[in-house]
Amino acid sequence: MSSRSLPASIRTLGYAGAVLLALLPISVLVVRAGAWQAGLALYALTCLLSALVLLVALVLLAWPRFRASTGAVLTRALLVLPGTLLLLSVLATRGDYPPIHDITTDLEDPPVFVHAPELRGSEANTLAIKPESLERQAQAYPDLETLHSTLPPQQALERAADIAEQLGWELVYRDAPNGRLEAVATTAIMGFRDDIVIRVSPRVGGSDIDLRSVSRVGVGDMGANAARIRAFLTHFTNEEHAP
C-alpha cells in the first residue's frame, strides 16, 4: 500500500513521528550550543509528544477500521519509540535521586574550589555550601566518604591526577604544595560541564582524599555527581590494592 493511499490519520502520524525523531538530536545540539534551558525544554516536550503520538498509534492499532494498515501504523510508531523510552527512563528514576547537584565526600568540611569560579560564568549554580543540600546527600548517598590511603600525600596527589585523566576529566588547576586538583568533566550526550575538586590531606600513615563534584547548571543531577565520585574512589582503591 502506497503512502498516498493510506488514511490521513496514519500519514499525519508518520509526519509527526518524523518531526519528533528529528527534534531529539536538534534539542541536544541546542543544549550543547549553550542554550541549555531552551534545549532541555525542547527535549522534554519532544519526549512527551512522542509518548502521546505513540498512544495515538496504539489507539489506531486497536481500531478495526485501521486493521488493514497495521504494518503502516507500526512502522510509524517506531519513529516515536526513542522519545517515549527516554521519557519513561526519566520518570522511572525520578524518585531515586534528590534534587541536588553538589556532592562531596566530606560533609563536615567540603573541599573549596579555587579556580572553578573563573570558569563557571555568571549564570552557573553557586559554589556556596548549602546545609540543606548536605542533609539530603547524607540521606541519599551515605556511602560517599573520605578515602583513607596509605600513600604519602604527594604520591596520592599524583595518583589522583592520573585517575582523573583516566576517567576523561580535564585537569584545569593543580596546587601540589596544598594538595589540590581541580578538573572539569563533560557529560557524554548533553555536553554539560561539571566541576570537580580533589583535596589530599596528610594523616598519620598516609593521606586522606576528599572530592567534591558540582554541576554548573540544573537543579537535580540524576545522581551523576555521586556516580562520578564513586568511579574515582573505586579506581583509586583498586590501584592501591593492586599487586
pLDDT at 52 over 80: yes
Tens of pLDDT along 175-219?
Answer: 999 999 999 999 888 889 999 999 999 999 999 999 999 999 988
* pLDDT surpasses 80 at 1: no
The pLDDT, as a whole number, for residue 57 is: 92
How much of the chain, in percent, has pLDDT values that exceed 90? 72
Write down the pTM of the prediction: 0.84
Residue 213: exposure state from Cβ atoms within 10 A (0-12, 13-18, ≥19): buried
Once rounded to an integer, what is the mean pLDDT over residues 125-150?
95
| Res. 237: pLDDT tops 90 | yes
Burial class from Cβ neighbours inside 10 Å (0-12, 13-18, 19+) for residue 217 reads: buried
- Range in 102-111, 123-132, 147-156, 170-179 with the lowest mean pLDDT: 123-132
Boundaries of every domain in the chain:
3-95, 102-241
The residue-averaged pLDDT of 43-62 equals: 93
Q: What is the DSSP string of 161-191?
A: HHHHHHTT-EEEEEEGGGTEEEEEEE-TTT-
The pLDDT of 80-109, averaged and rounded, is 90
Sign of the dihedral defined by the CA atoms of residues 6, 11, 14, 15, in that order: positive
> How does residue 159 score in pLDDT terms, banded at 50, 70 and 90?
very high
Q: What is the pLDDT of residue 36?
A: 84
Mean pLDDT score, 120-144: 92
pLDDT band for 20, please (50, 70, 90 cuts). very high
Asked if pLDDT for residue 60 goes beyond 50, the answer is yes
Fold held by 102-241 = TATA-Binding Protein (3.30.310)
Instruction: Out of 29-33, 79-83, 200-204, pick the least confident.
Output: 29-33
Q: Between 36-62 and 81-93, two packed helices, what is the crossing angle to 10 degrees?
A: 110
